[in-house]
Amino acid sequence: MVSNVISDIKDEFLVCHECLEDLKQPKMLPCLHTFCQPCLERLLATEPVGKLDCPTCRQDVPLTENGVQGLKSNFLVGKLRDILQQQPKEEKPEAREDGIPFSSCTACEAANLASFYCVECTDYLCQTCNDTHGRFKATRSHIVVNIQDSQADQVATDDARVRTSLRSSQIRQVRSNVRIAGANLKHIKTVREGGSGDVQFSTPYPLAVTAEGDIVVTEINNSGLKILDKDGSFRKKVDLWFMPECVAALTNGELLVTGDGHRIHVLDKQGRELRIIQVTGAAETDKTTKGIAVDGLGRIIVTIGYQVFVLSRSGDVMLKFGDKGQVQQQLGPFLHVVVNSSNQIIVSDHDNHDVKIFDPAGRHLFTSGSFGFEPGQLNYPSGVITDSDDNIIVAETYNHRVSLFSPDGAFIRHVLTRDEHGLLHPGGLALSHDGHLVVSDCLQSVKFFRG
């Protein structure tokens, strides 16, 4: 478990994505991507006009007379490497008979024996503090692990040290800064309704936005993905040999694609397959992976039938939950998912006509909506996203509208409708980095709206 955490951090932050080796003389570009100085110098030498583009996002890189050497060095890389290589200098605490080391509660003055560790507060908790921690609204959704084995303490320690370092860096800037609640959205553009050519869509439903701001459109009937830039212009097509259901984007540019049995296909930013994650333990063998999201802890959330799985970045199943049925806490067979800034898991339950919110440990918090046509009711919801205020935005496929709910599930208003905005069976939703609400519908189009 410890090795998986460290491996994920190294792959994400300490490896040059040009040479795929440990970063040497790391240089940070204006777009915040980091590469080895020798790699950048080799790339610059291949350009006839001496122009350098970022290998990841293709953004122009202005150079001074000092060339690549004049770019800013990324000192965070060395700091992270030191943290991961650092050996504890203090003596190991005494261990219990079962070999588990003692840790004191860091949340109270009594310094009682800690039995729990909060991943988000980075606190060790005794039983009393853990009970209190779970009652407060601000902390009850936090991930708390029970220190059960000899490695759990080390996992908590490594996590706390690395997480503290990353908080001060710009690498974690993933979420959109778009607010929807008070905006009156206007239609800006529609990307090709039908027609022919590269931007023709066939059943464009689920959407995703990459770290570079590109919009990924899944095409179920065409067995592929289409990549648009932030303005809706066609960039590339990715052919797949299966019918994709949903897509999620990682901060390193990789894409996670569902729809092929119980597998998740991991693609690089060029659409080439890197690896396949096999999800184990699903109850329904005839269902495929569908809804997918990545939370702020780097965990992958994916649905298969009525079950929700929480995976580590390496693909190990950390948690699964979901009971089949139609009551408030139960789930139907077709689910879309998103996570908010508190890492709560928000599930759009298509057949049960509602949205369910679970804490990061899979405990049901509340349900919003019921079948119907009135404000606050839902009719076969599909795509679901959150804005920067954690408001929940839901595509109501058969009510031909997009609705807005507060973080605690209260209906706010309809933000898009058929009569005012021309929606017909909306399915996919995304918030672009420049403030557009992007919607796909059954008119074989992707529409851009902005306040």
Q: The domain that contains 395 carries what CATH number? A: 2.120.10.30
169-178: b (≥16 Cβ within 10 Å) or e: eebeeeebeb
pLDDT at 105: 83
Final residue before a domain boundary, out of 32, 57, 85: 85
**Percentage of residues in the chain having pLDDT higher than 90:** 39
Strands annotated E in 387-444: 392-396, 401-405, 411-417, 428-431, 437-441
pLDDT at 202: 60
Confidence band (pLDDT; 50, 70, 90) for 108? confident
Tell me: do 279 and 423 sit in the same domain.
yes
Write phi, then psi, for 70 (nearest 5 degrees): -80, -5
**Per-residue pLDDT tens for 129-158?**
888 887 776 676 666 777 654 344 444 444
pLDDT at 56: 74
CATH code for position 13: 3.30.40.10
Please check whether residue 268 is in contact with residue 259, taking contact to mean a CB–CB distance below 8 angstroms.
no
- State the average pLDDT over residues 291-298: 87
Domain span including residue 45: 2-85
Highest mean pLDDT (candidates 39-53, 92-106, 202-216, 375-389): 375-389
pLDDT of residue 181: 59
In a domain, 97, yes or no: no
Confidence of residue 100 (pLDDT cuts 50, 70, 90): very low
Residue 178 lies in a domain: no
Residue 216 parent element (H or E):
strand 215-219
- Least confident among 14-18, 95-99, 104-108, 258-262: 95-99
Q: What is the pLDDT of residue 65?
A: 82
Residue of 420, 418, 392 lying closest to 404 (CA atoms): 392
Listed residues 33, 65, 85: the one ending a domain: 85
CB 399 within 8 A of CB 373: yes
pLDDT band at 407 (very low <50, low <70, confident <90, very high): very high
Q: Give me 185's structure tokens.
A: 């959205």
Last residue of a domain, one of 39, 69, 85: 85
Q: Residues 383, 240: one domain?
A: yes
The pLDDT, as a whole number, for residue 163 is 47
416: which strand partners? 402
Q: Is residue 313 part of a domain?
A: yes
- pTM beyond 0.75: no
Q: Domain count for the chain, please give it.
A: 2
Locate tokens 């079950």: which residue?
307
Q: How confident is the model at residue 171 (pLDDT cuts 50, 70, 90)?
A: very low
Whether the per-residue pLDDT at 61 is higher than 70: the answer is: yes
Do 343 and 199 belong to one domain? Answer: yes
Q: Are residues 407 and 275 in the same domain?
A: yes
**Residue 100 resides in a domain:** no
In a domain, 392, yes or no: yes
> Which of 259-263, 343-347, 420-424 shows the lowest mean pLDDT across its residues?
420-424
Q: Is the pLDDT of residue 168 over 60?
A: no
Work out the pLDDT band at 93, boundaries 50, 70, 90. very low
Q: In the predicted model, is pLDDT for residue 120 greater than 80?
A: no
Give the pLDDT band of residue 285 (cuts 50, 70, 90): very high
User: What pLDDT shows up at residue 317?
Assistant: 92
237 found inside a domain: yes
Would the CA dihedral through 207, 189, 406, 348 be positive or negative?
Answer: negative
Same domain, 196 and 80: no
**Same domain, residue pair 55 and 194:** no
- Same domain? 203 vs 78: no
Q: Does 72 share its domain with 199?
A: no
Specify if 375 maps to a domain: yes
- 138, part of any domain: no
> Between 288 and 35, whose confidence is greater?
288
